[in-house]
Chain A
Amino acid sequence: MSTAIDQQVATFQERFKRVKEEVSKVIVGYGEIIDGVIMSLLASGHVLLEGVPGLGKTKLVSTLSDVMRLKFSRIQFTPDLMPADITGTNIVQEDAMGEKFLEFQPGPIFSNIVLADEVNRATPKTQSALLEAMEERSVTVGKTTHKLDSPFFVLATQNPLEMEGTYPLPEAQLDRFFMKLKVDYPTVDSLHTILNRTTKSQEPIVERVLGQGEVLEMRKTVRAVPIARPVQDYAIRITLATHPKPPYAHALTMKYVRYGSSPRGAQALVIGGKIRALLNHRLHVSCDDIRAVAYGALRHRVLLNFEGEAERIDTDTVIKGILENTPEPK
């Protein structure tokens, strides 16, 4: 039995590694971002990528879709985008007998991988069209609910600089993202590599290495990883420490946070920890795993108060304080 599990873990690691290698052929220097995106996919979650234009966010997602044998669609969010443009709508059709009937025309949401580019440019009404799809994995049009194919993975991008004419995502929407990953400017070495790769006549070609079944199998493996109560307790204490209420509240939280993470944050910590444990060839989750995924899992779930925003406090600073002050179980 042990050998079978070891084999399962080895397969998981191998597949993960192959996906990452293929994506890294195109995307340079964003190892952690790639890891976070793949982890979110395997955790049945969604990812919000935040970064200034031109850093390769969209390229990353499109490359990921290229690597996987999954159905991919891209939605460019604009202020005039309507919900029906995402979900699809019933269209009047005419059959061979000339009789008219309504036929559901699925929107781009009906894919395995959906890129919601510049998601904060759409109106809240349109943004909310994603809510049901992201959480329930279904779309309701009229009186009919349409199930989405599994895996269903939304990758949204947003630009933190251009705030004019944008509609910041509401908390409920943000909470549905498994991780929020910040795409920073690449380093000099990474830039050299990017230029070397993109300014030549031959562009890198990626292979499709992962199919739908394999993704689902990997998701199942992730869920099987056991976590001990003390480690889970550690994840819970970190989550509760994001709330500005005693007894777990950290000083920074009490000062700058209006509302902390929902239980989805704790779920993200544990599932992210499990994936990381598997990647490190471990059969258990450690506190170190929880800490490693804490920033991506919690940064978009911590809502700053007026004082925090006025002082331009970064939620990562708050999370760092929490991690430093939450003792490991003894």
Chain B
Amino acid sequence: MSDKEIIIASLRRVDRRIKINRLFTELNLTAVLFLAIPLLLKLWDLVEPMRGVTIGIIGGIWILLFVAFAVWRFAQKSTLEQAAASADTRADLNDELKTAVWFINNPRPSDWIEAQIRRAAGNAQNLNVDRLYPRQIPKTLYLAAAMILVFVVLNFVPLPWNHNWLALQAAPAFSLNDKEAAILAQTQELLRKAEQLQQSELTEKLEEIVDQLQEGTIDAQQAAQMLNEIQNQLEEGNLDAASITEGLEEMAKDLAQSEELEPTADALQDRELKLAADELRKLAEKLGMNKPESSKEIQKSLEQAAQNTRPGLEELAKLLKEAAENLKNEQQQQAQQSLEGAAQELGTIQQRIESQQLKNLASQQIQSLKDALQQRQQAGQKASKGEQQAGKGQNASGQKPEAGQQPDGQSQSGQSGENGEPTDQAGGEEGQAGAMMPGGSEGTGLMPGGKGGSDAPREGDATSLEVQLQQEKVQGMNDAGEKPEDIEESSRQERSRLDYRNVKSDLSPAQKDLLNQDRIPWEYRPLIKSYFEAIRQAPNQQGKQ
């Protein structure tokens, strides 16, 4: 190797070590600075849980910045001159390598320069890079490790509101409070029971809505709409149930004409369908033991009852009719089978009615949940509106916000407190449906949607004037010239706590000049004032005269 090559090779080694040490130190320091961000965020998350989207965005930006910084620092190249200068300083070589590098890059024919390079090569070869640039573990590495540890620990703090970011957990977009969760649980329980009676996917739908709400894919308003659909689905069977009940009552009246069928009729009247089914079965067993007259009565009663073909009772009517015909044809066994079938149908109807009742209960619970969600959304909207108003500054227009002046046209269902203030309960839980649903069923709330609230006073937000000065009373002078008039006295007593602001005028400069033109010279003002006072007295005197 030539002297030049020795110097360059040595300086490359030095340069590599410098770069590694520098990168290690810088990245550690940067890591500490960067780790402070997630650590602070995690601490903040413990106070106010953040959504996954927020964490994702911040985390993404954080990683991008860190990687960009690392790449930038890694890509930063140093020169051999820099390495030579550093080695000269560390090895106390008095700029020997720096000079040699310069002469290598700028060769000149000189014995002295060759000798200098030769001597520099000897010293460069003897450079102990490990001694000059020892690999040191910076203190920031320990700090970074400690910060990571703290971050991990914070993620595993067993608090109910803590979310483990390491397990990709974050606060849901919408979280149900205890009351709402209880309502949801009750609804789900009711729906599960209803499902046992009739196959339904409503529970899954409900869970899906809540999941979407918590994930943030839908907001509370959309959730309320979807709950409304479920509610409608649940209430679809209400008409059938009512029709069945009425039909059964009519059937009971018809069946009561036969003495043998009286227990069955009573049970039907009492809507004890299982008991009625049992009575029918007992009747079927005793069919052979009945007298012909009584069989005829039974047959007649069954025929009459079979004529009640209301929706939901078609099958029962059909079976009763078959039983009547079989009795008429004295086919006892077939009649017993038909009655047995009618008893089974009664059981089915019983299940259907019970299912509908459960659904109705679930519907009520869903209504409560929906109301709670709407109330929370409106509270949120009101809060944001309040912030916007505060941001706009002192908009002291003095106008009261009108009741029901919601941007989305919804009634203020959440404002059921006495003074129009929002409360936690959505206007009470009972009998408030009319108040909650815009234009819905009747209710007793204060809102225009319910009939009961039509005459009730509408209360809007309290007046939020931020400045209310006392009325100033300026004491004028009754007699001219005796006492100086201090027109600013009151103003000095009562000062606004707000700074006066320069309100931009819509007028053009020319218009403003015209308005501000002072046509009355200052020195003539007392004269003019005394003139008007003089002519003011004249009519009084005339009146007296």
Chain A nearest CB from B3 CB (Å) reads 10
| B113 located at the interface, meaning its Cβ lies under 8 Å from any Cβ of chain A in the complex | yes
Other-chain residue from A1, A224, A230, A280 in contact with B98 (beta carbon distance below 8 A): A230
Other-chain residue from A5, A226, A280, A330 in contact with B99 (beta carbon distance below 8 A): A226
Are B82 and A330 within 8 A (Cβ)?
yes
Are B112 and A228 within 8 A (Cβ)?
no
Number of A-B contacts (CB under 8 A): 69
Other-chain residue from B94, B96, B112 in contact with A225 (beta carbon distance below 8 A): B112
Render A200-232 as a binary contact track against B, CB cut-off 8 A, 1 for contact: 000000000000000000000000111111110
Are A230 and B102 within 8 A (Cβ)?
yes
- For chain A, residues 271 to 322, give those with C-beta under 8 angstroms from any C-beta of chain B: 280, 282-289
Are A328 and B106 within 8 A (Cβ)?
no
Q: How far apart sit A5 and B99, CA to CA, in the bound complex (Å)?
A: 17
Are B102 and A228 within 8 A (Cβ)?
yes
| A246 located at the interface, meaning its Cβ lies under 8 Å from any Cβ of chain B in the complex | no
Are A2 and B96 within 8 A (Cβ)?
no
| B53 located at the interface, meaning its Cβ lies under 8 Å from any Cβ of chain A in the complex | no
CB neighbours (8 Å) of A94 from chain B are none
Are B115 and A231 within 8 A (Cβ)?
no
Other-chain residue from A1, A224, A225, A286 in contact with B95 (beta carbon distance below 8 A): A286
Are B115 and A288 within 8 A (Cβ)?
no
CB neighbours (8 Å) of A328 from chain B are 85
Known: A226-B103, A228-B102, A229-B106. A284 touches B96 (CB 8 A): yes
Q: How far apart sit A73 and B300, CA to CA, in the bound complex (Å)?
A: 166
Chain B nearest CB from A276 CB (Å) reads 10
- What would be 22 A-B contacts, judged by CB atoms less than 8 Å apart? A1-B115, A2-B119, A5-B111, A5-B112, A226-B113, A226-B116, A227-B99, A230-B81, A230-B95, A230-B99, A280-B94, A283-B115, A284-B96, A284-B99, A284-B100, A284-B116, A285-B95, A286-B95, A288-B94, A288-B95, A328-B85, A330-B85
| B114 located at the interface, meaning its Cβ lies under 8 Å from any Cβ of chain A in the complex | yes
Q: How far apart sit A231 and B81, CA to CA, in the bound complex (Å)?
A: 12
Interface residues on B, range: 20 to 34
Chain B nearest CB from A24 CB (Å) reads 26
Q: A-side binding surface: helix, strand, loop or mixed?
A: loop
Are A329 and B85 within 8 A (Cβ)?
yes
| 4 closest residue pairs by CB, A with B | A286-B95, A286-B94, A228-B102, A228-B99
Q: How far apart sit A231 and B98, CA to CA, in the bound complex (Å)?
A: 9
| B118 located at the interface, meaning its Cβ lies under 8 Å from any Cβ of chain A in the complex | yes
| B110 located at the interface, meaning its Cβ lies under 8 Å from any Cβ of chain A in the complex | yes
Chain B nearest CB from A328 CB (Å) reads 7
CB neighbours (8 Å) of A330 from chain B are 81-82, 85
Known: A6-B115, A330-B85. A226 touches B94 (CB 8 A): no
Are A228 and B111 within 8 A (Cβ)?
no
Name the residue among B96, B108, B115, B119 with the largest chain A CB count within 10 angstroms.
B115
- For chain B, residues 301 to 351, give those with C-beta under 8 angstroms from any C-beta of chain A: none
A contact residues vs B (CB 8 Å cutoff): 1-2, 4-6, 224-231, 280, 282-289, 328-330
Q: How far apart sit A227 and B103, CA to CA, in the bound complex (Å)?
A: 9
Chain B nearest CB from A176 CB (Å) reads 29
Which B residue sits closest to A281, measured CB to CB?
Answer: B119
Name the residue among B94, B106, B108, B113 with the largest chain A CB count within 10 angstroms.
B94
Known: A2-B115, A329-B85. A226 touches B96 (CB 8 A): no
CB neighbours (8 Å) of A4 from chain B are 111
Are B103 and A1 within 8 A (Cβ)?
no
Are A231 and B119 within 8 A (Cβ)?
no
Are B111 and A1 within 8 A (Cβ)?
yes
Are A329 and B98 within 8 A (Cβ)?
yes
Are A224 and B81 within 8 A (Cβ)?
no
Q: B-side binding surface: helix, strand, loop or mixed?
A: helix
Q: How far apart sit A228 and B93, CA to CA, in the bound complex (Å)?
A: 14
Which A residue sits closest to B88, measured CB to CB?
Answer: A286
Which A residue sits closest to B95, measured CB to CB?
Answer: A286
Which A residue sits closest to B108, measured CB to CB?
Answer: A226
CB neighbours (8 Å) of B85 from chain A are 328-330
Are A284 and B114 within 8 A (Cβ)?
no
Name the residue among B98, B118, B120 with the largest chain A CB count within 10 angstroms.
B98
Q: How far apart sit A228 and B85, CA to CA, in the bound complex (Å)?
A: 13
Q: How far apart sit A230 and B98, CA to CA, in the bound complex (Å)?
A: 8
Are A2 and B114 within 8 A (Cβ)?
yes
Are B95 and A228 within 8 A (Cβ)?
yes
Which B residue sits closest to A289, measured CB to CB?
Answer: B94
CB neighbours (8 Å) of A283 from chain B are 112, 115-116, 119
Chain A nearest CB from B39 CB (Å) reads 37
Are A226 and B98 within 8 A (Cβ)?
no
Which A residue sits closest to B89, measured CB to CB?
Answer: A328
- For chain B, residues 114 to 129, give those with C-beta under 8 angstroms from any C-beta of chain A: 114-116, 118-120
- Contacts A5-B111, A227-B99, A329-B98 known; list 13 others, CB within 8 Å: A1-B115, A2-B111, A2-B119, A229-B102, A230-B81, A230-B99, A231-B95, A282-B94, A283-B112, A283-B115, A283-B116, A285-B99, A328-B85
- For chain B, residues 40 to 73, give those with C-beta under 8 angstroms from any C-beta of chain A: none
CB neighbours (8 Å) of B82 from chain A are 330
CB neighbours (8 Å) of B94 from chain A are 280, 282, 284, 286, 288-289
CB neighbours (8 Å) of A6 from chain B are 115
Q: How far apart sit A231 and B84, CA to CA, in the bound complex (Å)?
A: 13
CB neighbours (8 Å) of A285 from chain B are 95, 99
CB neighbours (8 Å) of A288 from chain B are 94-95
Name the residue among B96, B99, B119 with the largest chain A CB count within 10 angstroms.
B99
Are A228 and B103 within 8 A (Cβ)?
yes
Q: How far apart sit A228 and B120, CA to CA, in the bound complex (Å)?
A: 13
Which A residue sits closest to B92, measured CB to CB?
Answer: A288
Known: A5-B115, A225-B112. A282 touches B96 (CB 8 A): yes
Other-chain residue from B98, B114, B115, B118 in contact with A228 (beta carbon distance below 8 A): B98
Q: How far apart sit A328 and B94, CA to CA, in the bound complex (Å)?
A: 12
Chain B nearest CB from A174 CB (Å) reads 30
Q: How far apart sit A83 and B113, CA to CA, in the bound complex (Å)?
A: 46
Are A2 and B118 within 8 A (Cβ)?
yes
CB neighbours (8 Å) of B118 from chain A are 2
Chain B nearest CB from A217 CB (Å) reads 15
Which A residue sits closest to B79, measured CB to CB?
Answer: A330
CB neighbours (8 Å) of B114 from chain A are 1-2
CB neighbours (8 Å) of A5 from chain B are 111-112, 115
Chain A nearest CB from B16 CB (Å) reads 18
CB neighbours (8 Å) of A228 from chain B are 95, 98-99, 102-103
CB neighbours (8 Å) of B102 from chain A are 228-230
Chain A nearest CB from B250 CB (Å) reads 107
CB neighbours (8 Å) of A1 from chain B are 111, 114-115
CB neighbours (8 Å) of A287 from chain B are 95
Name the residue among A1, A227, A284, A289 with the largest chain B CB count within 10 angstroms.
A284
CB neighbours (8 Å) of B112 from chain A are 5, 224-226, 283
